[in-house]
Chain A
Amino acid sequence: MPEIIRVHDLRKEFRRTKRAPGPLGGLRTLFTRQYETTRAVDGVSFSLDQGELVGYLGRNGAGKSTTIKMLTGILTPTSGEVTVAGLVPWRDRQRNALNIGVVFGQRTQLWWDLPLIESLELIGKMYRLDRATYRRSLARFSELLELGPFLRTPVRQLSLGQRMRGDLAAAMLYSPRVLYLDEPTVGLDVVAKERIRGFIEQTNRADGTTIVLTTHDLRDVERLCRRIVLIEQGRVLFDGPVAELTARYAPGRVLVLHLEQETAGVELAGAELVKSEGPRYSLRFDPARTPVAGLIAAATARYSVVDLAIEEPELEEVVRQIFEERLDGQALP
């Protein structure tokens, strides 16, 4: 597959005026020329082939959104190269816009006070769809995302999940070649998340849309991405298949047991006690070697369990682990 996105040695520095301290600080700031520079993206390189679905991951403030904004042309890089479908986004922002769709999970591009259909019609006209293409596309996404019941409802009355489906339709209506999804599942319940994931998968598979997905939810990644690019402090920490990352770093699952009373020496075969807080005990295990059902059976047989839960590893935890390893001087893949 031909290359569609190329990022080479990309950097972005933000220069902010330093606010002078003291009661008149705001005023004095106007006259001082002191700046502090922060480097949000610090030499990032990767390239994507057409039709890839890549997870672009990192902790808060790692530089994910800044990279996405440079890919969409909203931000001008301090140095380095970006090309998307043959265009340099920041130089050719409006032409680039015709090739890309963007969804920011925390914000909406829909018109809050108006029925959803109005926003979609605006998108159709702005992205220069002729009437027939617009109707066909609207019908298709209405069906895929089940928009029918609320097409004529004002956006402010929609649930978060419905709004997100509306935003996805708005981003895909003109069949962009590249789709940037910045936390598309944030704040959604399990059912809504699953529906969004299904749509993303379908879009990637059926339309061949190249998708860059930013998320904090490891389940999004496991379900959707074959490859991930992980960044930390503005640099690429890991770029490779998801399976490799989870196999090497995901610290298994954690079984949390809430017992009737504090018990000394809680232990189960195939699991390791990692934390205890009063009568709550956390045991880490590898589900590939220790089946969940057996572990739970063993736990309930041995202890009087009030409540239990299986927790999955958080991305933050994985990143922290990799980061610490790097500090220890171990080689990265």
Chain B
Amino acid sequence: MPLLNVQNLRVAFHTRNGVVRAVSGVSLNVDKGQTVGIVGESGSGKSVTCYSMMGLIPMPPGRIEGGTAMFDGIDLLKLSAAEMRRIRGKRIAMIFQDPMTSLNPYLRVSTQLIEPLQIHQGLSKKAALPHAIQAMAEVGIKNPEERIRQYPHEFSGGMRQRVMIAMSLITRPELLIADEPTTALDVTIQKQVLELIKERQRSLGTAVIFITHDLAVVSEVCDYVNVMYAGRLVEAAPVADLFRRPRHAYTRALMRSIPALQPKGGTLYTIPGMPPDLSKLGPGCAFRVRNVEHGDRCLTDRDPELVEIEPGHWVQNCPGCMERSAA
């Protein structure tokens, strides 16, 4: 049995400008100790997918319109707020994109670090402090006894993200959701933070969902990849399969736009156009407008369905996007 199994999740935001269908029928699996990536451009619904199963989207305007998210036999979407709080931060933890703003600037690091232990394990401040210091040491922060008494603004960006990681893992959660954890960091620091997450994951056996727009990061840390576009999964495959044989035009476009994989001196590739407005999306393949390969053959009358073309490799069954590019 997988640790987390999301089936047909649908989330919409009811705004003044209409209904934005941010997630339309997404399904995914995370096994114990596995690292699963969710990749897509901004606005593709990758963050909303995770936030909605954590009960972290603002409602209203957000609304979960259907689906299940079974976590160890519990449907996260059906939990009451109080039941959800007992899982959030204890069995499922999260880290966020911007370490500058994700830590409370008004509180000492120690206060923030011991908070999960206080509320989830009922430890007193005094009893929790050694755990917090140890957690700081485990993420590679020197002088943890002194630094834990400091405020977040006294840490550099990379160090703050280490604090975030220490804080999220302090309760030994079974699942860690990392929402673009390296995007706001310098390139050299990115590498260190990725290594740190991988190392902590190995020693704790935590499963990780990695939300990112960067395929290079995915190739480095993930076992399995879900590619999202316009609120839907367009392709899902084990990481090696996906990089060897991307079957969807959007996945191929994403790969072509990784600068490191492009020939030196050539013009950098970018995907033409912009992601569609999710409040005005009609039936048909959502990528057809931007599909430069065979957009003319994309479905226009009905939504393409996911099919398993090889064991474990799923792709949206749209003729225009499945077609191998001639080039």
The finding on whether chains A and B are genuine partners in a shared complex, rather than unrelated, reads no
On B, residues with C-beta under 8 Å from A are: none
Chain A positions within 8 Å of B, measured between CB atoms, are: none
